[in-house]
């Protein structure tokens, strides 16, 4: 097992994503119990992304100099501490602090991507990175289901489960991941980091050069509109469901929202697991991307006018195909960038994601606090539609 670090990396990413997806459907309800309004909940969610935006480039640069494994351990310990703080929080300031600690130390995924690129040949990287996609699919299926099941016994239990998984991830990194893995032939020495070499927030003027390129600018615009609309959806979905749907005469709670996320994860796993590659071969990336945007827009519009659990299930099926957008747009972005720019461009997409996940939950919280439930869904649809309508340069 020590001879190949890919299995430990898969386990590390898997348990990290499980921890994140356990918290996802629960956090709004947990904060509400402590007196948070929807707008405050949006700010709590945004604090995590803000921490990532600021610290992500620092963690990445430190890992270039001191190695992936030490920084990965520091990042995981921060996540573990953040979960424990959240589990035993008795006030909203502690909740904010818990999410800030987790966000500031968050770098598990980008460090894992960089580690994979360090230990695999260039021609093997696509297959190796595919493991992360599998881990995401499984995490978004199992994590919310675990959260919904454990929340019945108390809101603290899912968070402690996430903390336990985080501890397991730390153990896997410490005992299974080689500290100085040999670089295979064909892999350059030095700070490669194609998992995402992020510039600091003071260096964003260098990112602007990529937005000036006619082959990259529309793809980056599409990417940002997608992650912004998706962030608006995930940032407000639990609060929307609590106010819109009932189950056995009671408003939706963490269990029902967790199962709804798990159903979406199941559909996404089916799509990503085997269908996406075949569909790309048959129809091509650009037509599939356009179809994915249509699916997202239609799903968000339908969600805004959904009032029953049955219609929610139908909306989830309609919008599930939209999951093809992010991997396809990311692939097209890397194809449009030069070989030596792969890391920086992927880092740019990660930074754009952080910006989107700062703006989106705050917007969602404000809209829902003002009882604009349908408007919340329609705003997400309009943002996705704007990305769909951005014209691409002809290849």
Give the tens place of pLDDT for each residue, 88-111. 999 999 999 999 999 888 767 777
Average pLDDT, the chain: 86
Provide the pLDDT for residue 362: 97
Question: With b meaning 16 or more CB within 10 Å and e meaning fewer, what string describes 40-69?
Answer: bbbbbbbbbbbbbbebbbebbbbbeeebbb
Interval 329-377: pLDDT, tens = 888 887 887 767 766 787 788 889 899 999 999 999 999 999 999 999 9
- Tell me which of 18 and 155 has the higher pLDDT: 155
- Which of 14-23, 179-188, 310-319 has the highest average model confidence (pLDDT)? 310-319
State the pTM of this model.
0.88
Region 304-318: mean pLDDT is: 96
Question: With b meaning 16 or more CB within 10 Å and e meaning fewer, what string describes 107-139?
Answer: bbbbbbbbbbbbbbeeeebeebbebbeebbbbb
Percentage of the chain lying above the pLDDT 70 cut: 87
Q: How confident is the model at residue 129 (pLDDT cuts 50, 70, 90)?
A: low
Of 101, 261, 80, whose CA–CA distance to 163 is shortest? 80
């Amino acid at each position: 097992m020590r001879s190949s670090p890919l299995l430990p990396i898969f386990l590390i990413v898997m348990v990290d994503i499980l921890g994140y997806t356990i918290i996802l459907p629960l956090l709004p309800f947990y904060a509400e119990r402590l007196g948070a309004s929807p707008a405050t909940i949006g700010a709590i969610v945004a604090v995590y992304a803000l921490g990532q935006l600021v610290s992500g480039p620092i963690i990445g640069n430190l890992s270039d100099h001191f190695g992936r494994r030490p920084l990965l351990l520091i990042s995981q310990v921060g996540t573990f501490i953040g979960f424990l703080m959240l589990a035993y929080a008795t006030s909203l300031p502690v909740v904010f602090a818990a999410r800030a600690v987790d966000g500031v130390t968050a770098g598990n995924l980008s460090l894992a991507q960089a580690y994979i690129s360090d230990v695999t040949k260039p021609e093997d990287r696509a297959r190796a990175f595919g493991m992360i996609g599998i881990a995401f699919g499984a995490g978004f299926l199992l994590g919310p289901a675990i959260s919904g099941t454990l929340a019945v016994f108390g809101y603290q239990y899912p968070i402690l489960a996430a903390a336990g998984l985080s501890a397991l991830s730390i153990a896997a990194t410490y005992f299974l991941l080689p500290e100085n893995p040999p670089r295979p032939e064909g892999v350059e020495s030095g700070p490669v980091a194609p998992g995402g070499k992020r510039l600091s927030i003071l260096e964003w003027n260098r990112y602007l050069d990529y937005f000036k390129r006619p082959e990259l600018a529309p793809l980056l615009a599409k990417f940002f509109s997608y992650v912004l609309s998706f962030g608006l959806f995930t940032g407000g979905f639990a609060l929307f469901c609590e106010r819109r749907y009932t189950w056995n005469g009671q408003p939706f709670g963490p269990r029902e929202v967790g199962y709804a996320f798990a159903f979406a994860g199941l559909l996404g796993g089916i799509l990503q697991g085997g269908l996406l590659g075949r569909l790309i071969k048959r129809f091509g990336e650009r037509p599939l991307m356009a179809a994915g945007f249509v699916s997202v827009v239609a799903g968000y519009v339908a969600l805004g006018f959904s009032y029953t659990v049955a219609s929610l299930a139908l909306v989830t099926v309609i919008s599930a195909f939209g999951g093809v957008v992010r991997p396809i747009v990311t692939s097209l972005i890397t194809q449009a960038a030069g070989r030596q720019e792969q890391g920086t461009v992927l880092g740019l997409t990660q930074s754009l994601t952080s910006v989107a996940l700062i703006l989106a939950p705050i917007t969602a919280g404000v809209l829902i606090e003002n009882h604009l439930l349908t408007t919340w869904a329609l705003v997400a649809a309009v943002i996705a539609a704007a990305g769909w309508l951005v014209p691409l340069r002809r290849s």
